[in-house]
Amino acid sequence: MEIRLADTIETEEVIELYRLNSWSSAEKPDQLLPALRNSDTLVTARLSGKLIGLGNAISDGSLVVYYPHMLVHPDHKGKGVGRAMMEALQKRYRSFHQQMLTADGNAIGFYRTLGFERAGRTEPMWIYAGNEH
Ligand SMILES: CC(C)(COP(=O)(O)OP(=O)(O)OC[C@H]1O[C@@H](n2cnc3c(N)ncnc32)[C@H](O)[C@@H]1OP(=O)(O)O)[C@@H](O)C(=O)NCCC(=O)NCCS
């Protein structure tokens, strides 16, 4: 398995990965692909060239980073792919004052393993255009 930063991604492979995880942004390729490519950092995991994982970070470059997307192909979950991608991202942002994300219910344990914790007594708030949460 190969972890790449700033990899070149193709629309079809990205949409397949999002569809397999039932993520609604799979239905918005015209927004999803530019968004991923415009991230502060994009990380991919590939096995013999095939895209099996993807994550991204958006940031002000010095204090705050937000990790919007992290997903692994269903056939390759539970094999350390997510950890490897998150560690590659965190190499860059470890010293930041604030690393944030919104953990889906099923992914809370994964992020805890990687050192994230509930954000004090704060309440996550959003305006969300999807339907999978
Ligand atoms: C969440 C996700 C990215 C994790 O990736 P993964 O490759 O399956 O996870 P890893 O195999 O790298 O696991 C890393 C560690 O987290 C732990 N872990 C993973 N999922 C877990 C879970 N649901 N609950 C508890 N621990 C979990 C693993 O046991 C492992 O621990 P270890 O390294 O100490 O052995 C992946 O399962 C996924 O794509 N899920 C669907 C999309 C999603 O929910 N993304 C997050 C949105 S907020």
The answer to whether position 57 is within a domain reads: yes
Compute φ and ψ for 28, nearest 5 degrees: -125, 55
Give residues (CB < 6 A) around ligand 1. 21, 70-72, 77-83, 103-104, 106-107, 109-110, 113
Indicate whether 126 belongs to any domain.
no
Range(s) of the domain holding residue 101: 2-113
> For residue 124, is it within any domain?
no
pLDDT value at residue 26: 96
Which pTM was predicted? 0.95
Asked if residue 45 belongs to a domain, the reply is yes
48 Cα: distance to centroid of ligand 1 (angstroms): 22
Residue having the nearest C-alpha atom to atom 44 of ligand 1: 107
The per-residue pLDDT for 45 is 98
Within a domain: residue 128?
Answer: no
| Distance from Cα 110 to the centre of ligand 1, integer Å | 4
Which phi and psi angles does 97 have, rounded to 5°?
-65, -35
| 121 within a domain of the structure (yes/no) | no
What's the domain count of the chain?
1
Residue 80 belongs to a domain: yes
The rounded distance, in Å, linking the Cα atoms of 112 and 116 is: 5
pLDDT tens digits, the chain, 133 residues: what are they?
Answer: 999 999 999 999 999 999 999 999 999 999 999 999 999 999 999 999 999 999 999 999 999 999 999 999 999 999 999 999 999 999 999 999 999 999 999 999 999 999 999 999 999 999 999 888 8
- Residue 76's domain is classified under what CATH number? 3.40.630.30
Candidates 110, 111, 114, 128: which one to mutate for ligand 1, based on the most atoms within 8 Å of Cβ?
110
Beta-carbon contacts of residue 2 (< 8 Å; ≥ 6 apart):
45, 46, 47
Query: Is 119 within a domain?
Result: no
